Amino acid sequence: METIGLGIGIAGLAGVFTACVDCFEYVQLGRQFGRDYGKCLLKLDAAKVRMSRWGAAIGLGPELYNKQRISASIEEIRLAQSLLEQILDSFKDAERISERFQKRTSTQNPTSTELTMYDADTDLALDYQRLHLTMRELARQRQKQTSVRKIVVWAIYEKKSFDRMIDDVSGFVRELVDLFPAAQEPQRALCKAEVSAIVETRDLLLLNDITSQDDKILAAEVEKEMNSRGHTVSDWKAGGSSKMWAGDENAPGVKSKSHNFSRFEVSGSADVHLGNKNRG
């Protein structure tokens, strides 16, 4: 099999890769998503971060990440091109479905609220907002600056349409990751930086809940990070004569982990111990 340096074929992938990453910025979600809005938006964020991570690992990101030189066959380059084009097609298909929904709904019921869109800046719950902003910044840092401005923003109004699109896009990104196994090590390093950027343990748990089935490299790094962190205990009360202890009991020589305790209330003669107990 004829191989070439990936840098030689990079020019052919860079344009379509950038177009794919830009697509994530064009999408907004309609208010019919209801309580699913937060998780669906984070799924979109997670797919973009994963794609930007793959691009950075093979040299499609800013110069800061272009340290890897990976050999690939001409056929692998062509397959990568095809997968990126299929990601674009998935966005275009979802946009066409949304356009038909919009035309039908506005014709049948011009005053319908079904076409109202969510605004992430004002409508996203705080816990989702924090992780959303972190993931957006991670992806932004890996994007090359371009002169292309965001012109058209479009909405997905139906969750079934979103689910189909995000499943397709995530599947194609998974194939891109699997296509270049030599790029997985730099992706692990980038995953480590991602989880380190997430300060709140509850955000890390939320990220794991959203991505663990699709993003195995990230899931492994999340597990390592979680094992290195302590417990997060919040929103609780202790009253009367109750007894409570939150922390670890450490054997001699075991390094203590720090824990996060917040939003709690102690009343009466409750006996509460927060922190670790070290034996020996």
Q: What is the pLDDT of residue 2?
A: 47
Distance (Å, whole) CA 273 – CA 259? 12
Helix orientation angle between 37-58 and 126-141, rounded to the nearest 10 degrees = 20
pLDDT in tens, 41-90: 999 999 999 999 999 988 887 755 555 556 778 888 899 999 999 999 99
What does the pLDDT look like over 158-198, one tens digit per residue?
A: 999 999 999 999 999 999 999 999 889 999 999 999 999 99
Query: Is residue 21 within 8 Å of residue 52, measured between CB atoms?
Result: yes
How far apart CA 127 and CA 213 sit, in angstroms, is 21
Global pTM reads 0.80
CA distance 1 to 3: 6
In the numeric block, the tokens 């699109």 are attached to 165
- Tens of pLDDT, residues 7-35: 546 667 888 999 999 999 999 999 999 99
Helix (H) or strand (E) holding 263: strand 260-266
- What CA dihedral angle connects 162, 163, 166 and 167, to 10 degrees? -160
Q: What pLDDT band is residue 112 in, cutting at 50, 70 and 90?
A: confident
pLDDT digits (tens, 9 = 90+) for 116-139: 999 999 999 988 999 999 999 999
**What average pLDDT does this structure show over 200-209?**
91
- Give one DSSP letter per residue of 216-258, joined into a string: HHHHHHHHHHHHHS--EEEEEEE-TT-EEEES-EEPTTPPPPP
* Cβ burial, residue 25 (10 Å; 0-12/13-18/19+): middle
